Structures are given as structure tokens and as C-alpha cells.
Amino acid sequence: MNETCDRCGPAVRAVYRASRGGQLYLCGHCANQLRPALSAQGWAIWLIATPAVTPPGPPAPAKPREPDTGSHRIGLN
């Protein structure tokens, strides 16, 4: 869902949703400015939940190395 701010227009993405019978979508700036007035009129303001993107986990642990059996001897002549 890519809602835009109802005050700023389509160039600004909404971060908050206010509801009280209807819905307003607001950017962070507009929500901060309008929060006291909207709250006084009974509007509920919620942060818009965005789907979580799971970052890739840590790499798998390296396979342990086989112990050296000493079969590779280097002779010095």
C-alpha cells in the first residue's frame, strides 16, 4: 500500500493514518503539526504498518577442517 499525504499531495508518502469515521493519510511533518487538533476532535492517529522485510541471516558456519594427520612431510636436503 503506497498511500500519499492528503495535505502535501502525491509527491510525499504517508506515514500515519488518522481515522474517525473517515480516514486521513499524513506524512510525519503534517501528523506532528495536526496531532493536537486531530486528537482534540477525537481522531485516532496510527503509524502505518509496512510489511517487514527480513534481512538475510548470518552465513552458515564454516565446515570444520579435518585434523592434519602429518602425512605431508617436506624433506629438506
The pTM of the whole model exceeds 0.85:
no
Alpha helices in 1-77 (DSSP H): 28-40
Beta bridge partners of 45: 18
C-alpha cell at 1: 500500500
Residue 73 has pLDDT above 70, yes or no: no
Average pLDDT over residues 56-73: 65
Residue 1 has pLDDT above 60, yes or no: yes
Average pLDDT over residues 33-61: 79
Local structure of residue 36 (DSSP, 8 states): H
The average confidence (pLDDT) of the chain is 82
pLDDT at 33: 96
